[in-house]
Chain A
Amino acid sequence: MTMKPWLPPLLVLAAAAALAPLPIVAGSYWMALLVNILMYATLATAWALFSGPTHYVSLATAAFFGLGAYTMAFLGETLPLPLVYGVAALIGAVVATVVGLSTLRLSGVYFVIFTFGLAELVRQLVTWGEAKYGGTVGRFVFIDVTQQGIYWMLLGLLVVILLTGLAIQRSRLGWALRAIGEDETVARHAGIDTTVSKVAVFVVSATFMTLVGAIMAPRWTYIDPSIAFNPIISFQVLIMALLGGAARLYGPILGVVPLAILFEILQANFPNYFSILLGIAFLVIVYFVPNGIVGLIDQGRGAIVRAARRRPHPAE
């Protein structure tokens, strides 16, 4: 199926326009759920920008999210808000460049392991710095941003991420990433500077994650390193993107909506068993939905096409 190049961006904008008025009608419980879903939708889509085409599994989502949240906690009361978001994005980009340059030359497993520990590492550094120079480990966040404001900012950010993703897919960089995902050695022999391509998209993806953290921070009145750098965020983003399927740009969102609601219900009703249920959800998805919902849709579409082809020959 070929699509007109202007159609996907238009669809993204139309969907966002349809979702934008929701805060006007939604009550506070629904607003909280919507913001939660949007937060994971932005994180999972940003995650898939990099990990989808390259197949490099990043577990650093919480590290960047936490950096953003902490930037807001540090500067939110002293600088104007737009500037704080700018600073957060810059910090995310710089950290991602350093991490990317030092780990993306390594093979895939080493990258997984390093990003696995990155949130823990940043958390330890922040805790250490706060205890040594800040006096306390936690921080109060008194910033005047409403639930609605957060919703609209996240929705706007999601649009930007999707449009960026579309632009990358159509660029030379998009081709380079897919070549890396297929076979990195071949990509290198074809003249692709694999390190530059990987680091560039990793930085873009991480910058978006940092921004999400900065936007979300005012939702809590108090943050400490174990809230901001909670590794569960990385795992949930990963599993949501997997369920949706990272092969398409819109895939992760398909996984976010059901899982965000499921986790919300589990956390409210079985807080003590949450970890076990999360693990079981992980296993079920890995074993039974390996290509995500997107894979299932493609499979279903293939079956329909085959069935349609068969129909003209009832004698078969």
Chain B
Amino acid sequence: MFLVDVILSGLILGGIYALIAMGLSLQYGVARIMNLAYGEFTIAASFLAYVLFSAAGVSPILALAVAMPLSFALNWGIYRVLMTPLVRRAKSPGALEVDSILATFGLLFVVQGILLVVFGGSYVSYSYLAVPVQIIGSTVALNRLLAAGLAVAIALALTAFLMRTRIGTAIRAVSVNPAAAPLVGIDTTAYAAFAFGLGGALVAASGVLVSMFFTFNAAMGVVFTMKALIVVIMGGVGNIFGALVAGLILGLAESLTAAFLDGGLTLAVNFALFLAILLVKPTGLFGKAAR
């Protein structure tokens, strides 16, 4: 049942990737900020869960309830304080993209530097629900399964929120046409800040979930940023469903590569997929018109 093992772990990994990427998709799709410090926030949330668990015995599920609102507030503040001047200054969407990339770069180093000073460069992990579970003849650790299940639940909740509520509709309107949204009375800046914060809450959630089964260190954020970016672009920018599909493809590709080819080539395979899809469909799998 080796193949089942590989596919199952690929799907679980893919679910987590999808969750990581959904936050970025919201931030970039709605607020038009390409946040390169994204992975640093994932790792920061992982460390928060680690500290809460190992110092106070707080379960990662409860850590979610702490990390998500905290990260929402933090990211909302970042948009209000750091990004709004750039949005005002930008003469074109292209200029804002470049400026936001550069500014979030600075942020990347600041957050990574703080994590390095506080936690040092060593790898950490903790043991939570590391119990084997049998599924269709394959053995999976319960923490992985729980993480994947929570990722799916959070993704479904987010989709329902965006599709069914008034706020969600307004967010989608800003995402589809930021120039026309104010015409129907939508305060684009306020909604962009809200979406940026919401993306931050999602990244914190993914950081906590990843920490349950993953060994991490302070310098690892960039890897998560890369994966999130690849998933977002592969799925089509701003498309939550696309992020889910692309995340699953990436997770599967990664675990198949590690199992049948070589563990050292996962990133190369990721990049090859990314390029192949963009060369065939420059707007991503589910992207609509050219931007």
Report if B8 contacts A (CB, 8 A): no
Q: Which of B45-91 contact A (CB under 8 A)?
A: 82, 85, 89
Report if A117 contacts B (CB, 8 A): yes
**Digit string of A270-308 for contact with B (CB within 8 Å is 1, else 0)?**
001111111111110011001000000000000000000
A57 CA to B95 CA, complexed, in Å: 11
Interface residues on A, range: 35 or more
Known: A103-B275, A107-B291, A113-B229. A272 touches B268 (CB 8 A): no
Residues of chain B with a CB closer than 8 A to A114's CB: 271, 274-275
The segment from A2-10, A37-45, A121-129 that touches chain B is: A121-129
The segment from B11-19, B106-114, B151-159 that touches chain A is: B106-114
Contact B265 A275 (CB under 8 A): no
The segment from B97-105, B132-140, B174-182 that touches chain A is: B97-105
Report if B193 contacts A (CB, 8 A): no
Report if B233 contacts A (CB, 8 A): yes
Q: Which of B123-167 contact A (CB under 8 A)?
A: none
A117 CA to B223 CA, complexed, in Å: 9
Known: A116-B36, A117-B271, A275-B109. A286 touches B264 (CB 8 A): no
Report if A221 contacts B (CB, 8 A): no
Residues of chain B with a CB closer than 8 A to A279's CB: 105-113
Residues of chain B with a CB closer than 8 A to A272's CB: 116-117
A109 CA to B97 CA, complexed, in Å: 7
State how many angstroms separate the Cβ of A194 from the closest Cβ of chain B. Answer: 14
Known: A110-B233, A128-B262. A286 touches B117 (CB 8 A): no
Interface residues on B, range: 35 or more
Q: Which of A44-94 contact B (CB under 8 A)?
A: 55, 57
Contact A283 B103 (CB under 8 A): yes
State how many angstroms separate the Cβ of A253 from the closest Cβ of chain B. Answer: 20
**Most chain A beta carbons < 10 A, residue from B113, B262, B265, B279:** B113
Contact A282 B106 (CB under 8 A): yes
Known: A108-B94, A113-B233. A128 touches B105 (CB 8 A): no
A103 CA to B99 CA, complexed, in Å: 21
Contact B98 A276 (CB under 8 A): no
Report if A255 contacts B (CB, 8 A): no
Residues of chain A with a CB closer than 8 A to B223's CB: 120
**Most chain B beta carbons < 10 A, residue from A55, A231, A276:** A276
**Most chain A beta carbons < 10 A, residue from B85, B99, B106, B113:** B106
| Majority secondary structure, B binding face | helix
Residue in A106, A121, A131 whose CB lies within 8 Å of B268: A121
Residues of chain A with a CB closer than 8 A to B85's CB: 287
Contact B264 A128 (CB under 8 A): yes
Report if B168 contacts A (CB, 8 A): no
5 nearest A-B residue pairs (beta carbon): A279-B109, A282-B106, A275-B113, A276-B113, A128-B264
Contact A282 B268 (CB under 8 A): no
A153 CA to B187 CA, complexed, in Å: 57
Contact A124 B105 (CB under 8 A): no
A121 CA to B226 CA, complexed, in Å: 11
Contact A231 B264 (CB under 8 A): no
Report if B278 contacts A (CB, 8 A): yes
Report if A173 contacts B (CB, 8 A): no
State how many angstroms separate the Cβ of A292 from the closest Cβ of chain B. Answer: 12
Residues of chain B with a CB closer than 8 A to A116's CB: 36, 226, 229
Known: A120-B226, A279-B113. A109 touches B34 (CB 8 A): yes
A235 CA to B37 CA, complexed, in Å: 14
CB-CB nearest in chain A for B272:
A121
A161 CA to B114 CA, complexed, in Å: 38
State how many angstroms separate the Cβ of B266 from the closest Cβ of chain A. Answer: 8
A84 CA to B267 CA, complexed, in Å: 29
A290 CA to B98 CA, complexed, in Å: 11
**Digit string of B248-291 for contact with A (CB within 8 Å is 1, else 0)?**
00000000000000101101100100110011001000000001
